[in-house]
Chain A
């Protein structure tokens, strides 16, 4: 969310710059949102800056030098982190990428199918299904983790990659978003025209509707990716083998080593810093789809 807020700052400034007439008033109006957004950005980015700077500090510098003074130990921290238990950190990173990447992809597919179906087709129970989904949106996933564990235990699937992937494939919020988006972006006339021309329903969906839904689906993918990447409780309950841990769990075990062993602060901080990078990269790469999203919205209105 923070990067969304950051993105909007320059665009808000841009509109005021190009607008003609009564500039003093315009400027005064733009000042408040700009400052608000800047404050929001500082609020969100300050902890990130702390992590970035703290990850450069060696163990002895961490608590003794000034908080925002870069340290000298980044490379050592990196080496230590990679050496910790034969580089299990990178295994966690890979696991997180698998859970979040594959999980978000599958979840986006499911959301696209069901969202499209709910938006375009009229069938009995459609509203009932949608209302159940809405209820699902309101239900925090944390509540579901334990029941999901008990269910998967019955199927003997706990402590496996599947146990973390499966529950995350159905995202009520993703389906909800896809339905709203499909209803707005895919005109019923176009679907009707496709049918008149003799295209099958599958063809209409893949060739006509899906391309129109892409910006919405990108949003679903991103939301789901971030949600899975940051998820803690579900993998915590499901997994016991730390070779399958995602990064959130792995870092937690580094912190909670028992009373007689000090927490590995430098490793955790460096690890947390590295874990943020893929998310930032993903947002930067997918940003252009988002501007497309804004653009298409603008054309329509």
Chain B
């Protein structure tokens, strides 16, 4: 990475602290190097992941295929999010990144452009058939290399209160135009209720909606990046929600707050645009309305279309710091394609598997507890998952996301122009990429 300015800053700071830490470093020199034992023979791998219960899934490996191949994996549970990407990159700078990391799809370009992820194409190439094309494409970044194995995905769906839709005589919208109509109709019959809210505190939601509309936020041509955050598709989405917020047809308060939980739980908000993992969130946010919700495909931009975006999802990647890349890749492939492993992942970690064959087996033959009223929940989910639009992530998604939260958060609060906020987001992203030393075409 041509990131000279930042690394120079780093050196200055490091030498400044070297003075104060001198004594510490001296004391440390005497200690023995315990990692040097892992050179050949049996491989011992560390794995940074945030999936709950992953240690139990890894136990299956350590007692089964891993034992045969003498590959032992140790889970080190981490907190998810952008902070973990920073932590991985910091560790990578010191050459101490773990062998395996869990990474969200939108973080892969950042990790790859920092040379933190190894190309495991020759180790996991066969796994390709197990995944939908749009899913697999996210781990190749459009190259011949493979930088990760998909683990879970978050196809987006429309969740609504079945009972209240009946009560207010609303129909489930199949297009966004109908969605706007439904929101207005609800305001007429029950002015104190909202269909849903536009929340700017999770950028993944907006990214997914834009993806559904056909947006391609980051693309490359030759050596140059092109940032299309303000492309017509995204602008359409931003304008749609901006208008709804402005006229007051939907609420403008952020989600995942106690107030939002209350609104969802008491039926003040009667629908939620979310993804396949929503049952878990609803279970915490709206425990009193269990069994009253239903899931439908996301509304479309035109009647002839059938696409959805994705919100969330992650993959398993092997780092360039690993001494046992082949062994690590073998584990990554097993974890995300083996039937038993995926069953355990679903049971222990509550994930929705990226592997197409696992989406209809094991834990996914019965609906989630919260949606026991919709027996075909996962059957429908698998169908929707197949329609996921391809995504296009770039090396500074975190910057775009932060800018989204600031700009759209303010715009939603003031009910002001969303397209202006989108322009702010585009400019912030391009400026940051140039600052990082990427070539960006206008």
Contact = CB atoms under 8 A, between A and B. Distances in A.
Contacts of B27: 166
B21 interface: yes
Interface string A50-75: 00000000011011100000000000
Chain A contact-residue range equals: 35 or more
B77 interface: yes
Interface string A98-133: 000000000000000000000000000000000010
A156 B52 contact: no
B29 A155 contact: yes
Interface stretch (B88-96, B116-124, B420-428): B88-96
Contacts of A153: 91, 94-96
B76 A242 contact: yes
Contact of B262 (A64, A136, A170, A263): A64
B351 A260 contact: yes
B33 A150 contact: no
A236 interface: yes
Contact of B154 (A169, A240, A253, A259): A259
Contacts of B266: 64
Contacts of A62: 258
A256 interface: yes
A245 to B, nearest CB: 9
A231 interface: no
Contacts of B51: 258, 261
Contacts of A167: 21, 24
A147 B79 contact: no
A146 B90 contact: yes
B152 interface: yes
B48 interface: yes
B189 interface: no
Contact of A157 (B23, B31, B46, B81): B31
A155 B31 contact: yes
A155 B20 contact: no
B214 interface: no
Nearest to A158: B96
Contacts of B33: 156
B79 to A, nearest CB: 4
A150 B31 contact: no
Given A147-B10, A147-B14, A153-B94, A253 B79 contact: yes
Nearest to A259: B312
Interface string B321-334: 00000000000000
Contacts of A237: 87, 90
Contacts of B265: 63-64
B46 A151 contact: no
Interface in B276-304: 276-277, 280-281, 283-285, 287-288
A115 to B, nearest CB: 16
Contacts of A43: none
B312 A260 contact: yes
B78 to A, nearest CB: 7
B88 to A, nearest CB: 10
A261 B280 contact: yes
Contact of A166 (B24, B83, B283, B313): B24
B98 interface: yes
A63 B50 contact: no
A155 B280 contact: no
B18 A143 contact: no
B28 interface: yes
A149 B95 CA distance: 11
A15 interface: no
Interface string B94-106: 1110100000000
Interface residues on B, range: 35 or more
A67 to B, nearest CB: 8
Given A60-B288, A262-B281, A158 B28 contact: no
Nearest to A144: B17
B94 A149 contact: yes
Interface string B1-22: 0000000001001101111110
Contacts of A156: 28, 31, 33-35
Contacts of B284: 59, 262-263, 265
Interface string B60-95: 000000000000000011111101000100110111
Contacts of B350: 260-261
A270 interface: no
B50 A257 contact: yes
Contacts of B272: none
A152 B17 CA distance: 12
A146 B94 CA distance: 10
A63 B289 CA distance: 13
Contacts of A157: 28, 31
B124 to A, nearest CB: 22
Nearest to A169: B24
A148 interface: yes
B352 A242 contact: no
Contacts of A144: 13, 17
Contact of A158 (B50, B79, B94, B288): B94
Contacts of B80: 256-259
A236 B87 contact: yes
B261 A63 contact: yes
A257 B265 CA distance: 22
A262 B80 CA distance: 12
B93 A257 contact: no
A64 B288 contact: yes
Nearest to A65: B262
A151 B25 contact: yes
Interface string A72-103: 00000000000000000000000000000000
A262 B76 contact: no
A211 to B, nearest CB: 27
A22 interface: no
Contact of B94 (A150, A236, A256): A150
Given A156-B31, A256-B79, 17 more contacts: A62-B258, A64-B287, A146-B90, A147-B13, A151-B18, A153-B96, A154-B94, A155-B25, A155-B28, A156-B28, A166-B24, A169-B24, A236-B83, A259-B311, A259-B313, A263-B284, A265-B284
Interface of B: 10, 13-14, 16-21, 23-25, 27-29, 31, 33-35, 46, 48, 50-52, 76-81, 83, 87, 90-91, 93-96, 98, 152, 154, 204, 258, 261-262, 265-266, 275-277, 280-281, 283-285, 287-288, 311-314, 349-352
Kindly list the 3 A-B residue pairs having the minimum CB-CB distance in the complex, ordered from nearest: A155-B28, A153-B94, A260-B277
14 contacts: A63-B262, A136-B20, A146-B13, A147-B13, A147-B14, A149-B90, A153-B91, A166-B24, A170-B21, A240-B78, A259-B312, A260-B152, A261-B280, A265-B284
